[in-house]
Structure 1
Amino acid sequence: MEMAAGGVVVRQRNEAWEILIIDDRFGHVSLPKGHQDPGETLEQTALREIEEETGVRGEILGAIGTVRYSYTRPDGQSGEKEVHYYLVKARSEAIRPQEEEIAGARWVEAREALRLQREKGYPNNTPIFEAALRSLSDA
């Protein structure tokens, strides 16, 4: 099983939370995530992948969930992936999308991000968005 990590990156604007969402190359909204490199902790992977994909640096606030799914690798073989997601507070806010990986990234008010996830996101990420919003309401 391939291990990966990513995060729900948040910032506070005028008393409201915003979430950094990705527009992927397939027309879906998603979260920054990627494969774990040898010797990395999952937390290090999450922070590295967020910064590589979006240019945003962050600080992990806590784990919020794990998603497992099957996928087709570039060689045509099927694979299994396990992605560990963290709630991440933005320490920088300027977005520099990695254009060879994603179509774009943007800050969206938290409830709007959940609406977009439900309409245009991958279904297995909905519980991750919901867990992040619950964590933010407890903050």
Structure 2
Amino acid sequence: MKEISAGGVVYRRVNGELQIQLIQDRYGKISLPKGKMEPGETVEQTALREILEETGMEGKIISPIDQIKYTYTHEAKGTVDKEVHYYLVEATGGKLQAQVEEIRGVEWFEPAEAWRRQKQSGYDNNDRILSGALRLLGLEVQGHG
């Protein structure tokens, strides 16, 4: 069985300064907003809906970044092939607010600090997503293998 999720790296500019949004998930790890696709949605709609639900921010998709694929075993469904599609998303409105049921917090960081936090306490497979987003924004990241 196949399961598709989508999410994004959300950014904004404040007085010309770029800021990247990161969430802290329920396990205390640095992560990115994402969630499962619902019937009738496109992958892009899923990404924007999940970002809005988890972080309170409205956004528009600028570009696809990459996807992460992995397999896990579910008690009822057996082996699940999981695909997570990530997009670069520009914040266009909304109010920053963490969805307490799902995540512990959400904050804006300048890019170097966002990258440092990702490397320090993020999930390894998100490294290429965040570095891909930063590259699309015209930034090079240090220490990306």
TM-score, normalised relative to structure 2:
0.88
Shift in CA distance, 103/71, structure 1 to aligned 2, threshold 3 Å: farther
Query: Which consecutive unaligned segments of at least 5 residues does structure 1 have?
Result: none
Matched, 1:66 2:67: yes
Please tell me the root mean square deviation across aligned C-alpha atoms, in Å: 1.7
Q: Can you list the C-alpha shifts for 1:38-72, whole angstroms capped at 9, x where unaligned?
A: 11100000000000011100000010100112345
Instruction: Tell me the percent identity.
Output: 50
Q: How many residues align?
A: 138
Matches within 5 A, 1:1-139: 1-71=2-72, 73=74, 78-92=79-93, 94-137=95-138
Q: Can you list the C-alpha shifts for 1:88-132, whole angstroms capped at 9, x where unaligned?
A: 000125211110000110111112111111110110000000011
TM-score, normalised relative to structure 1:
0.91
What SS does the corresponding residue of 1:45 show, helix, strand or coil? helix
Shift in CA distance, 74/10, structure 1 to aligned 2, threshold 3 Å: farther
Alignment partners' CA distance in 1, 2:104 and 2:16: 29
Q: Greater share of strand residues, 1 or 2?
A: 2
Alignment partners' CA distance in 2, 1:94 and 1:74: 37
Larger radius of gyration: 2
Shift in CA distance, 61/25, structure 1 to aligned 2, threshold 3 Å: same
